[in-house]
Amino acid sequence: MLMDGHSLAYRAFFALPAENFTTATGQPTNAIYGFASMLANTLRDEAPTHFAVAFDVSRKTWRSEEFTEYKANRSKTPDEFKGQVELIGELLDAMHTPRFAVDGFEADDVIATLATQAEAEGFEVLIVTGDRDSFQLVSDHVTVLYPTKGVSELTRFTPEKVQEKYGLSPSQYPDFAALRGDPSDNLPGIPGVGEKTAAKWINQFGSFAELVERVDEVKGKAGANLREHLDAVKLNRRLTEMVRDVELPKTVGDLAREAYDRKTVTMILDTLEIRNPSLRERLFAVDPGAEEAEETPAEPGVELDGTVLATGEVAPWLAEHGNAVLGLASVDSWSLGTGTVTEIALAAAGGEAAWFDPSTLDEADEQAFAAWLRDAAKPKVLHNAKGAMRVFAEHGWRVEGVTMDTALAAYLVKPGRRSFALDALSLEYLGRELAPAPADGQLAFGTDEDEQAEADALMIKARAILDLGEAFGERLKEVGAAELLADIELPTSALLARMERHGIAADRAHLESMEQMFAGAVQQAVKEAHASVGHEFNLGSPKQLQEVFFGELDLPKTKKTKTGYTTDADALAWLATQTDHELPVIMLRHREQAKLRVTVEGLIKTIAADGRIHTTFNQTVAATGRLSSTDPNLQNIPVRTDEGRAIRRGFVVGEGFESLMTADYSQIELRVMAHLSEDEGLLEAFNSGEDLHNTVASQVFDVAPTAVDAEMRRKIKAMSYGLAYGLSAFGLSQQLNIEAGEARALMDTYFERFGGVRDYLRRVVDEARATGYTETMLGRRRYLPDLNSDNRQRREMAERMALNAPIQGTAADIVKIAMLNVDKALTEAKLTSRMLLQVHDEIVLEIAPGEAEAAEELVRREMAAAVHLRAPLDVSVGLGPDWESAAH
């Protein structure tokens, strides 16, 4: 099988939207993903014994030298596509797939050469390409697989199929193509001569050469046009013919498929943040070395003395091995605030390992295991310790003494990666492949062999966790993050586990009434939209919206995309300013209400049997160190809208408690920016006690503080926060709906007044470009290799991240320190009040009767003293019966 890499990657690029396939650093991966997906499917379906991929080197080939206009009509290669071909090449190299790119020739010529050689050696040959010129290669032993729908559907072109499609034999195809011309290659056709006439002439005369010989026999206007353009058509014929004797560094015999370098393939996919498990499974399923990989011991160089412990055997095993550092792995489930553990495995460095089913523990085993878990002097290594702490507590087990969490450690070493799965980390850092977990997370034992296999798999994971812990111990020291893990991330994970178990009480009736209200608003918007255009249409169909907006209503055209003019939220907002028609405004309201309805529906579904919502907090999602939440995502709830505030009223104080308390920092990012930049003007603005944005606006616009109007203040507020988030002048112009020039002028004036901020931002990028990373006040690093990229888009994205990471990361660290200090102070003060949520830098606590005053005092004290900043931390606190009422 021979594949035209450029042709198929380009098709994949346009088949998949780049905005849906982009890494955190801005590297598009749509062409890579589409190519890899098609590659996996085709290798699976065709199972070739020999395989290679050919690429174009550049547009400068023997064809362009002979005809300077060859392909000259083609538009500039999109920036988003550039760089993806080389990354595809790296993936192919890791798959040990030969790839060819020969100066002066196109991929077609390389494929033609290899196909000719392979056919001569008795191979059946498949050519996968989106170039129809390849049909000239089709024979009884050569088939072209031509993409007819994106890169997902391939049509098999055999001699019979070519004859059926064009009425010609494959050998006649280049004659036909020469007469027809090829607009995609900028090869001119003959005026008045289409595909039917071209095919008729070739069939009538038998070949192009015979047609030229007897050209005077061709009658009519078409014949005259042929004779007039004969030289151009002869050139077409030379250019259309593929070269079949390109000198290549490898022969067909060298193309036998080889086993992948699976570790490198995994690392490439991880680096490109291609997480789709289906794609990975399909790629590895067609690895010629798959069987050997399965047969290879999952722990090369590591022998396990694994034991399945029966009732009464756990306590003795722990007595013998429990003082050493142990890796712990478990199979458990967690849903709606409750869960259970079904398997546990422990592994020691000496090779000893044990597996047991918690339901089989007798009293002595139970006591011994619980004592070992809660003993802080017994070191333990886990992967995602928070999950274990949360679910183990359902069995009455408290987990202490976690010295290493391999998921958190991997996050601190490389925060930009999006997957911290144990199997990927094991392969990358230990070179070990782990057996897959049961599909449903439950035991599926039918025989003793099944049980032993399941137990072995979990013990292998426990050992991998232990060894990863050792590996990451060294890596954390290298990146200066060992203290971050021990002092901040591990304690935070333990606190979050308790917060997740607490949950927050929900007013189901209130939320259900909100859902009904939003549903009614959605239906009302639908009716209004239909009435505004005089007929019904599907508001959820982009195609129908395009027909209505730009066809029927003839509204101003928005940005053009592959599927037509866009009707996304930004486009609707723009249309609302460009026309008096009410439909754009109705559509914006429809989408907003529909989104709110989905948000509330999600909240209702997550109310547990205890009447509380138990969200899951994520420590390893945001590269800056910020926490996020899922199931439900509490950051989805709008903070500044009436509807968002109404939704927050559905989060209420629970039984046995008196009120909810909210506490957060005022302008924490700007205070961090002022501290790091040491800008005297900004620090003075903070310390003046006046309204910050009003004070800064008066300096930027050079007016008295009393002369600052709402619009000035709005612009300065957007500017200040924008700088903390790495916002560009273009981004600021979009946010404020002003011209880019005005935004740039505003930014320049701001920097004139606050030169320390300008100098700091420049210094951050320069230092990061030199060292390869940015760093927070507490030493949290973010590595940004794209700062030195030749790709402007990737480089500018990395620069924005370099501006953003120290400020956002420091703010995130401060909030975590504050949470830990508040939690510790609550315990030391022997208060029953407890922390429930952390959302958007806001902490939500549930206050026990009579403890409000004491709780507020310690919350203010501990949060204000979390770190020392030159612009002192300012804490706001509120109290109320629900989340919204407790706002401040």
The pLDDT tens digits of the residues spanning 614-641 come to 999 999 988 889 999 988 989 888 888 8
Cis peptide before 632 (omega within 30 of 0): yes
Rg, the chain, Cα only: 33
168: pLDDT strictly greater than 90: no
Domain extent listing, the chain: 2-167+243-255, 296-502, 505-613, 662-666+811-880, 669-809
**Spatial distance between the Cα atoms of 715 and 460, rounded to a whole number of angstroms:** 57
**CA dist., res. 147 & res. 11, Å (int):** 9
Q: What is the SS3 string spanning 177-197?
A: HHHHCEHHHCECCCCCCCHHH
Cβ–Cβ < 8 Å for 440, 414: no
pLDDT digits (tens, 9 = 90+) for 248-292: 999 999 999 999 998 889 888 887 888 777 788 889 989 998 766
Which of 3.30.460.80, 3.40.50.970, 3.40.50.1010, 3.90.650.10 would CATH assign to domain 2-167+243-255? 3.40.50.1010
Please give the class, per CATH, of domain 662-666+811-880.
alpha beta
Residues 825, 862: contact at Cβ < 8 Å?
Answer: yes
Task: Using the predicted structure, report yes or no on whether residue 607 has a pLDDT greater than 90.
Answer: yes
The phi, psi pair for 630, rounded to 5°, reads -140, 160
Mean pLDDT of the 834-841 span: 93
Give 827-837 pLDDT, tens digit per residue: 999 999 999 99
Burial of residue 171 (number of CB atoms within 10 Å: 0-12, 13-18, 19+): middle
Indicate the range of 277-291, 597-611, 648-662 predicted with least confidence.
277-291
Check: CB of residue 32 under 8 Å from CB of residue 94. no
Statement: residue 192 has pLDDT above 70: no
Beta strands at 659-665 and 875-880: parallel, antiparallel or unpaired: antiparallel
Higher pLDDT, 85 or 833: 833
CA distances to 164, 370, 378, 404 from 375, rounded to whole Å, are: 78, 9, 6, 15
In sequence order, the β-bridge partners of residue 381 are 327, 404
pLDDT-derived band at 25 (thresholds 50, 70, 90) equals low
DSSP-assigned letter for residue 689: -
- Please list the residues that pair with 104 across neighbouring strands: 61
Q: Quick one: which of 133, 187, 191 has its CA closest to 162?
A: 133
DSSP 155: E
Instruction: Express each pLDDT in 479-489 by its tens digit.
Output: 899 999 999 99
> What is the spatial distance between Cα 624 and Cα 803, in angstroms, rounded to a whole number?
11
Q: 281: which 2 tokens?
A: 């499974």
Per-residue DSSP letter, 664 = E
H-run or E-run covering 630:
strand 628-630
**pLDDT tens digits for 131-158?**
888 898 999 999 999 988 655 678 999 9
Would you state the pLDDT for residue 639? 82
Q: Which CATH number is associated with domain 669-809?
A: 1.10.150.20
User: What topology does CATH give the domain 505-613?
Assistant: Taq DNA Polymerase; Chain T, domain 4 (1.20.1060)
- Confidence at residue 297, expressed as pLDDT on a 0 to 100 scale: 44
* Identity of the amino acid at 25: T
Residues 127-136 pLDDT 10s = 999 888 889 8
The answer to whether residues 579 and 31 touch, using CB atoms and an 8 Å cutoff, is no
- Please give the full DSSP string across 732-799, using - where no structure is assigned: HHHHHT--HHHHHHHHHHHHHH-HHHHHHHHHHHHHHHHHSEEE-TT--EEE-GGGG-S-HHHHHHHH
Minimal CA–CA distance to 220: which of 245, 255, 248, 190?
190
Q: Mean pLDDT throughout 20-27?
A: 73
User: What is the C-alpha separation between 94 and 259, in angstroms, rounded?
Assistant: 9
Nearest CA-CA partner of 205 in 192, 194, 218, 196: 218
**Helix, strand, coil distribution of the chain in percent, nearest 5:** 55, 15, 30
Dihedral (CA of 499, 500, 503, 508) sign:
positive
* 803 contacts 726 by C-beta, under 8 angstroms: yes
Structure tokens at 761: 């931002």
Give the CATH number of domain 296-502: 3.30.420.10
- What residues pair up with 843 in beta bridges, in sequence order? 663, 838
The 3-state DSSP class for residue 49 equals coil
pLDDT above 60: residue 817: yes
Residue 373 pLDDT level (bands cut at 50, 70, 90): very high
